[in-house]
Every structure is written in structure tokens, then in C-alpha cells.
Amino acid sequence: MGTKRKFAVYLLLLLSFYNFGQAGVTINDTIYSGGIMRMFKLYVPNSYNAATSVPLIFNLHGYGSNATQQYYYSNFLPIADTAKFIMVYPEGTISGGSQYWNAGFGSGPNDVQFISNLIDSIKANYNIDLNSVYSCGMSNGGIMSYYLACNLPNRITAIASVTGSMLNSWYTSVPIPARAFPVMEIHGTNDPTVLYNGDATFAPIDSVVRKWRKYNNCSPTAITYSVPDIYPADNCTAVNYLYANGTNGSTVELYKINGGGHTWPGAPVFSSGTNQDFKASVEIWRFFRKYKLNQFITNVGISQANEGKRPLNIFPNPAKNTLTIQNGNENAIFETEISDLTGKIVKKETSNGIVTISDLTDGVYFLKIKTNGFLTYSKFIKSSL
């Protein structure tokens, strides 16, 4: 952890003074991942309808912060309500008294596995469009989003980093994804924590943007837009650089905030250097919504483009000895994969719809079902009672 830096979100006013207009349901939940209990906060807008698949956005907190602070600080909820997507705010783990994401810092929790397990867990309970899963974050959460782009590109469609960067320790060595990957960076030139020009720990922001621009084969010349300075009191201005025409329609964007600090633009908690000329959360969603995973992966492997289109009936639940799967086709063959709450695969089999579970211990399990190129997720309880 010698390269780890502190990424604290300093809330200057009590967040309770603000009315965020929440119109959905917030759920505090846990899953086991990597042998430990992990916590997360889930926001489901009232517009959610289980009959329609919806996008999922991960919003990762900074070092020394937590899911609740990021939940309020980024103020994504009104956008989720209107655009009809689900937000998840996972909690990192604690090391040295501070909560963080292990974005390639060395030994510690496998947070890539945790995010992957969390996608499966949420998918088992909600109709998530697996072609529309995105990650954004503040500082250490932005760094983790870059790490996910490199290490989980088959599940995360695009990422956005606010005040984050890539660590020098893996900037050149970490495997980059085997497909074009859209990236947005939002960063202040006066950031005192993750320096815009880089240092011994962090790669320079312009170099990171150039790396992804070249990798995605985007145009080397940016389309430049100066954001109107509608709030001079913030003592900073913003310029948007768009590198377009990349492979499979990918782009790379940079919001360079001249005079901006280590803050989230548009945050409801104001401080000098917090740009108020645009809202980072609005721009992140505007960026994300352009992309689908199957836009970049022609063969997703488990036909995520078609998942959920064939209705399945899975019963009983809870179950004692067997689960029955039906889809109206007597000759259907089902490939099933059962995972426990840690994400460990405990059973695989191919059958005509009768899945034996008598050999499993009592508990909650996730069931992945593939039939005729269609993929469905479910959750069931094994009970001997």
C-alpha cells in the first residue's frame, strides 16, 4: 500500500440541508465476495418495471469516503429517476483506518471480483441490461473505474473518472482490453491530490487521455467546446475535448477544469474550485447512454444481447431436492451454472429442465441458465425443511 494516496471527500456543509428530490427506493444490502461480507447501497427509481431491462451504473467513492457520501455528493438520483436506470454505490474495504478500492495497489481484497459478483447479484433480483453496465467514480473510485476497464472489459461497457487517473505502477503494464473502450475523464488543473500533470504515483491526465484516444483509434484532433462560465464565483472554467470517430463508434472525452480542485463538478456542496458551470453526473450519463457492450464485443459469449427474451418458469422456490425449469418447449436443453454467495461456482450441468440440488447445503444461490443462445439469471433458496 506504499503507493496509496488519501482521496478524502471533505463535505463543507451538512448534506442533510439539501433536498435531492429522491423519488425511488434506496436499499442497503450485502453479499459475500472473496470470502468476506461486502456492503453496497442500491437505488431503484420508481419508474423501474421488471418487464423492461434497464442500465446499471456503478458509482465508486473516493479514498477515505464511503457509499453514503458518494450517494449524496454526486447527486445522480434525479437523473436515474428521469432516465430510468439503477444506481449501485458499493463500499470499499478498510485499510489503515480508511476505506478504499484496491485498484492495483498490491495485496488486498479482489475488488474486480467483487464488482463482477455484484453485477450477478443485482441481475438475479432486477432486470438489468447486461449490455449497459457502466462504472464511474470519484478519485480512488475513478482510478478503480480505469482498473475495471482494463480487467473487466467483458462486463463494463464504458467508464468515467472524476479526479482520478491511472497509477504509474500499472499505467504501461496492465493489460488493456481487447476491444475499443469509451473513456471520460473530468479533472481540475489545480487538483492537489491527483495532480493534473502527474507525479511519482499518478500518470499525467493528458497522457492518460492520449493513451485511450490512440488505443481506440480516435481522431487525433479534438472537437473543443468551452463551457459557458455561468458561475464565476467558483473561480474556475471548463473546456470539453471530444476525440471522436474511434473503432466501433468509441470516443474519449476530457473535461479540463482550469482552476478546478479535487471536487465533483455540479456537486450540491459548494467550495471554491468546484465547477458549477456543468454537472458531472449529467455529462457522465450523456456519455454512457451512447454505448452498448455488444457494440464492441460481437460475440459476447453468453448472448447477452438476447438475454431475458425467452420467459422461464423456475420452481419450486425454496427447493429441497430439485429445481424445475420450463420455457414452453418440451425438447429444450438447459445449461445451468449455480454459484454461492461468494461467487464460487458450485455446480454445472446440462439437463432437460430438472436440476438436482440435493447435494447442496442449505442457503441462497444464484442460477445462470443458458438455452438456445438465451441467458437468464435467477436466485433460489435451498432448504431441507
* Widest distance between CA atoms in the chain: 68
Alpha carbons 166 and 144: distance in angstroms, whole number: 9
**SS3 of residue 129 by DSSP:** strand
Res 281 pLDDT > 90: yes
Does residue 129 or residue 96 have the better pLDDT?
129
Residues 180 and 38 in one domain: yes
Residues 290 and 335 in one domain: no
Res 100 pLDDT > 80: yes
Alpha carbons 284 and 131: distance in angstroms, whole number: 17
Decide which of 268, 295, 322 is a domain's last residue. Answer: 295
Q: Is 303 domain-assigned?
A: no
Residue 305 phi, psi dihedral angles, 5° rounding = -65, -25
Average pLDDT, the chain: 88
Share of the chain above pLDDT 90, in %: 69
Decide which of 239, 268, 295 is a domain's last residue. Answer: 295
In terms of residue numbers, what domain contains 160?
19-295
In which element (H, E) is residue 36 found? strand 36-44
Q: Average pLDDT, stretch 131-148?
A: 98
Q: Is 280 domain-assigned?
A: yes
Res 279 pLDDT > 70: yes
**What total of structural domains would you count in the chain?**
2
Residues 76 and 175 in one domain: yes
Residues 236 and 261 in one domain: yes
Residues 197 and 340 in one domain: no
Residues 38 and 168 in one domain: yes
Query: What is the reported pLDDT for 13?
Result: 34
Decide which of 266, 295, 324 is a domain's last residue. Answer: 295
Query: What is the reported pLDDT for 271?
Result: 82
Residues 315 and 244 in one domain: no
**SS3 of residue 90 by DSSP:** strand
> For 333-377, how does the pLDDT look when each residue is reduced to its tens digit (9 = 90+)?
999 989 876 667 899 999 998 999 999 998 878 888 888 767 676
CATH number of the structural domain spanning residue 322: 2.60.40.3080
Return the closest-CA partner of residue 216 out of 159, 155, 167, 168. 159
What the block records as the C-alpha cell of 34 is 472473496
Res 251 pLDDT > 50: yes
